[in-house]
Structure 1
């Protein structure tokens, strides 16, 4: 049994620092680096790429909505045409830094509100998947497990990664519980670890209403911006290994 551990990184901007990228790199196998739309800037992007290369962590683009003020988490209307062009643009920006440092871009994972929209709206999902495919059909596409984005990627022949979350609650339809709902973000360490073990070992998850649903867990997202993010990453990594799970990237 094996699983990939991924984290959204490079999400600082200018003088504003978010997360501890250097420490998180020690516990993950794949990094999704912000591309300047919801967070990140040229220096931050290059620094994150260098950290990933130094730690032998797979590098992916993390495109989001053009929403620095809202960190890409606000529900801003975007047409499929705009989604396509914005994603192509952001992949290209990060890939330039990766290639200039002798690395290889391996995957793409949308961020925040764009990620959630792709999970349920097929037109947007198809536009984002098409953007990834047209840039490089060999890139892996991360999406919410069982979502429209996974479906759209597979239709194009992309290699897809069903992603699950250690610190987010689920609705009964498999989508993430909206952040405004109480209990949508799991802050309790034991609850988070138990959810990870259930997802990886049983391929199931308990929803916010208490029912259980099946979910494929190819990769676990570990958010890097929490107060205890590094400690949780260490505990989750250790717990998985103690339960016989091999932690490795898919690339």
Structure 2
């Protein structure tokens, strides 16, 4: 049986307070750093959990919009967005430094993530922020996205991400959370969803069409109703299929 090496990530520090249950079953985490959620206390608490369980730590910056949880596009100048993202990430870096930890990657949140996947201007702002941080950080981003293309031009290492618990449209955008079928809850369906992406490098979209998809890190959202059950199942079943989570 061929072995595949993957990462399982989750967004944390977003006010759900389920990290103590969730972190033991992931291999990397994305810590909210004040844009849509999170403060110094939550960052420190989650960072310590990640350290305990040897989980890689990423920053999860967002449009500075706590009222909408960063899930709506925001009218903001490039200069202000750049400064906000830089400040969010540096705040987390300060916390990590105080705990003897290092930042591994950047994963934009919500509307910012989705917009940067297709909008060159937004993607350029994020790339500019990463370059200004002057350290070799990885970027979690979708395959075949605008931000992936721009990051590679700047020699930023991109880790292709897919969402284990979300349905996709044919253009590889996520089905809107406004739709009833946006979120996957059935752990067996989710396992097969992930296996298809790993073994066939394809995803079955909401319309039943199969589209090429590359991914090596898979996100399970902490606010998915049965997220802990899903993660326990994936970490139990994937190794049986020759897939190593690391």
Equivalent residue runs for 1:158-177 within 5 Å: 158-177=156-175
Picking from 214, 218, 238, the partner of 2:236 is 238
* Range that drifts further, 112-121 or 70-79: 70-79
Does residue 8 (structure 1) correspond to residue 11 (structure 2)? The answer is yes
Q: Equivalent residues in 2 for 1:42-191 (5 A)?
A: 42-191=40-189
Q: Deviations over 1:157-215 (max 9, x none)?
A: 10111100111111111111222233111122222121111111211100111100011
Q: What secondary structure does 2:236 align onto?
A: helix
Task: Name the count of aligned residue pairs.
Answer: 243
Query: Unaligned 5+ residue runs, structure 1?
Result: 13-17
Which segments of 5 or more consecutive residues in structure 2 lack a partner in the other structure? Answer: none
| Distance apart, 1:19 and its partner CA | 4.5
Does the CA contact (< 8 Å) of 2:185 and 2:226 recur in 1? no
Kindly report the root-mean-square deviation, in angstroms, between the aligned alpha carbons of the 2 structures: 1.2
Deviation, structure 1 residue 149 = 1.4
Residue of structure 2 in register with 1:15 after alignment: none
Provide the TM-score with structure 1 as the length reference: 0.93
TM-score (norm 2): 0.95
Distance in 1 between residues matched to 2:76 and 2:241, nearest whole Å: 43
Counterparts of 1:155 and 1:226 in 2: how far apart (Å)?
35
Change (3 A) 1:125 1:221: same
Secondary structure in structure 2 of the residue aligned to 1:33: strand
Q: Residue by residue, what CA displacement relative to the aligned partner does 1:192-244 show, whole Å, maximum 9, x if unpaired?
A: 12111111121110011110001111100011122311110111122211100
**Could you tell me whether the CA contact under 8 Å between 2:185 and 2:224 is conserved in 1?**
no
Deviation at 1:137, TM superposition (A): 3.9
